[in-house]
């Protein structure tokens, strides 16, 4: 190759010599750039040391950094929402998290396996069922996300709610595995004969008359509902499986996932009977039909009325419950026990009483120590599951924390800019968005629509009163009353906004919910008329592929910057990729 030198002389270089010369030049350039970066970094570090405030450094170590300085997004491994290392919350809260949340829950995840069953059944269930292995191993990341940035009473009270849900989840899947024909050579053991399977939206309160003799375990609660929150990848293959056999893709993804479990034969066979419901729409009816087909055993469909205010409809709902009771008596050979119903209904009423106390503190003070995701998930779980010892244990701990917070006037969410109510059906794959929203923007989700369901005390003075209240309770299931129960119930939003002193609405826009889509325009009109700030958050319930978590965050970011003209509290949380994380 002929090249010219600086004095216009021409010389010839062989290709090998040319490459060597270029490599030497590039290497010198790299060295210079690297040296420059090191100098700049050293100068910055020296400047930081010179301006270091020993008192602030000590305070940051002992108490943790102030909210605006935490930079929680820097903790994530690039491209994920997974931690490089956990957050330093100050000495007291970091050690509390390590001992009483991380270590405590890992230990109880092991001991609960033995308490509620045995290790061989657990191992066989983990290897047999896809949802089990994918969910159990990622539980502590679920804790991390839900309590990110939390301090003091909020960290403690929220963690106890998660502890209760984890313990009850283990109890349920251990009960299923112990009696599962598929794990025991296809034979029905004695435990199989003592279980009632039911749809996750059929409340456990229905089965109180048999609680001492039979164990009622919701069939989809663990394979579907819990798994969405813990690991958002888990249910996607069930949705695809439902569509693969020719079922349409436009009904609710919740219903698709629930019957996709059956298409892939990924459900335990642990009970001789099944009770289903039409909660919350026609898609659920289709699920019940498919479950009846796959299960091939006695099944009772206990429908709930869509518009339940009519007294005649109320009477019909009571008759459906009595029909379910007769079905259990006939199939299981155990008579209805009024004494057992009274015992468990009155015990459950204590949970409802404390829930009302929590609502009063959340509505009327700044001292409520539970974050939005813990409050909503716990409320849905225990009210659908029915009375269990673990709920009373959790409430005992939370009561102590809450009363101390009120007495000492501890504000667990001091950076609150807006008190938010979240309305309609939430994105199950991103339930911890409200933790992110507070940390990033100061949006404090005080209450969720689903938290307000099942708001009914159960009278036990007479059979007639008990049946009447149980029917009302059953009709106030999640999504039933305030999603497809008529516009007068859906528009209770305004009353709850006033009750909980909220100034902003996050309006969940479930893209495949025909009920809520039909009333979208009416909400828009009301928001304008009432001058209410509302952020519409589109999602597809359990299917993260339609609208990702990152897209949800971007929608909120855009509203807060362009409409509210506010700056983020933690800029590192504004935009990050977490599509591949749990």
Encode pLDDT of 258-288 as tens digits: 889 999 999 999 999 999 988 767 667 778 8
Encode pLDDT of 138-181 as tens digits: 888 899 999 999 999 999 999 999 999 999 999 999 999 999 99
**7: CB partners within 8 A, 6+ apart:** none
Relative orientation angle of helices 152-178 and 139-146, to the nearest 10 degrees: 150
Encode pLDDT of 314-333 as tens digits: 888 899 999 999 999 999 99
On the question of pLDDT at 7 being above 50, the answer is no
Determine contact, residues 329/336, Cβ cutoff 8 Å: yes
Strand partners, 3: 11
Lowest mean pLDDT among 373-377, 426-430, 465-469: 426-430
Give mean pLDDT, residues 300-325: 85
| pLDDT of 405 | 97
| pLDDT of 8 | 47
* Percentage, residues of the chain above pLDDT 70: 88
Q: Could you tell me which of 285, 300, 318, 325 has the C-alpha nearest to residue 475?
A: 318
Among 103-117, 122-136, 390-404, the range of highest mean pLDDT: 390-404
Lowest mean pLDDT among 347-361, 462-476, 510-524: 510-524
Q: Whats the size of the chain, residue-wise?
A: 582
**242: CB partners within 8 A, 6+ apart:** 256, 257, 259, 260, 263
On the question of pLDDT at 475 being above 60, the answer is yes
| β-strands 2-4, 10-12 pairing | antiparallel
Distance CA(363)–CA(406), nearest Å, equals: 13
**289: CB partners within 8 A, 6+ apart:** none
**357: CB partners within 8 A, 6+ apart:** 399, 402
Determine contact, residues 164/156, Cβ cutoff 8 Å: no
Q: Is 125 exposed, middle or buried (CB count within 10 Å of its CB: 0-12, 13-18, 19+)?
A: buried
Distance CA(530)–CA(519), nearest Å, equals: 17
Encode pLDDT of 504-524 as tens digits: 999 998 877 766 767 788 888
């Amino acid at each position: 190759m002929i090249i010219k030198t600086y004095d216009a002389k021409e010389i010839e270089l062989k290709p090998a010599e040319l490459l060597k010369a270029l490599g030497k030049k590039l290497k010198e350039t790299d060295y210079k750039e690297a040296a420059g970066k090191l100098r700049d970094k050293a100068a910055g570090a020296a400047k930081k040391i010179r301006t270091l405030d020993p008192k602030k450094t000590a305070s940051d170590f002992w108490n943790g950094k102030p909210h605006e300085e935490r930079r929680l997004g820097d903790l994530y491994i690039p491209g994920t929402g997974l931690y490089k290392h956990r957050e330093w919350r100050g000495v007291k809260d970091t050690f509390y998290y390590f001992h009483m949340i991380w270590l405590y829950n890992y230990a109880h995840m092991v001991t609960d396996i033995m308490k509620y069953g045995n290790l061989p059944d657990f191992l066989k269930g983990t290897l047999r069922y896809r949802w089990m292995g994918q969910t159990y191993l990622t539980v502590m990341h679920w804790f991390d996300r839900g309590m990110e940035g939390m301090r003091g009473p909020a960290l403690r009270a929220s963690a106890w709610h998660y502890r209760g849900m984890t313990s009850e989840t283990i109890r349920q899947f251990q009960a299923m595995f112990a009696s599962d024909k598929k794990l025991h050579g296809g034979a029905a053991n004695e435990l199989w004969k003592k279980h009632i399977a039911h749809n996750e939206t059929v409340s456990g309160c229905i089965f109180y008359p048999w609680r001492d003799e039979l164990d009622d375990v919701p069939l989809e609660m663990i394979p579907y509902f819990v798994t969405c929150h813990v690991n958002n990848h888990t249910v996607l293959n069930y949705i695809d499986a439902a569509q693969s056999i020719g079922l349409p893709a436009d009904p609710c993804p919740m219903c698709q996932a629930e019957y996709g479990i059956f298409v892939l034969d990924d459900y335990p066979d642990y009970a001789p009977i099944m009770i289903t419901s039409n909660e919350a729409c026609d898609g659920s009816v289709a699920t019940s039909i498919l479950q009846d087909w796959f299960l091939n055993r006695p099944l009772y469909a206990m429908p709930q009325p869509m518009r339940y205010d009519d007294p005649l409809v109320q009477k019909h709902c009571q008759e459906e419950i009595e029909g379910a009771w007769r079905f259990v008596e006939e199939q299981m050979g155990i008579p209805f026990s009024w004494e057992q119903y009274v015992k468990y209904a009155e015990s459950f009423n204590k949970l409802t009483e404390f829930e009302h106390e929590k609502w009063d503190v959340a509505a009327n003070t700044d001292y409520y120590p539970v974050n939005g995701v813990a409050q909503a998930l716990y409320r849905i779980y225990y009210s659908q599951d029915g009375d269990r010892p673990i709920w009373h244990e959790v409430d005992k701990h939370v009561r102590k924390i809450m009363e101390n917070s009120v007495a000492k006037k501890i504000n667990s969410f001091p950076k609150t800019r807006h008190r938010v109510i979240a309305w309609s059906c939430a994105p199950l794959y991103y339930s911890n968005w409200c933790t992110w929203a507070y940390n990033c923007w100061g949006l404090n989700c005080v209450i969720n629509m689903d938290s307000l369901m099942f708001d009914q005390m159960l009278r036990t003075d007479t059979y007639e009163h008990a049946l009447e209240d149980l029917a009302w309770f059953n009709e106030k299931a999640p999504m039933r009353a305030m999603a497809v129960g008529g516009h007068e119930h859906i528009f209770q939003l305004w009353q709850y906004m006033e009750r909980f002193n909220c100034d902003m609405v996050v309006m969940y826009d479930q893209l495949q919910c025909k009920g809520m889509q039909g009333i979208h325009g009416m909400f828009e009109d009301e928001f304008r008329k009432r001058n209410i700030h509302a952020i519409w958050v589109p999602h597809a319930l359990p299917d993260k592929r339609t609208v990702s978590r990152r897209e949800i965050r971007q929608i909120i970011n855009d509203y807060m910057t362009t409409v509210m003209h506010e700056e983020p509290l933690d800029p590192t949380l504004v935009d990050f990729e977490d599509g591949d994380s749990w």
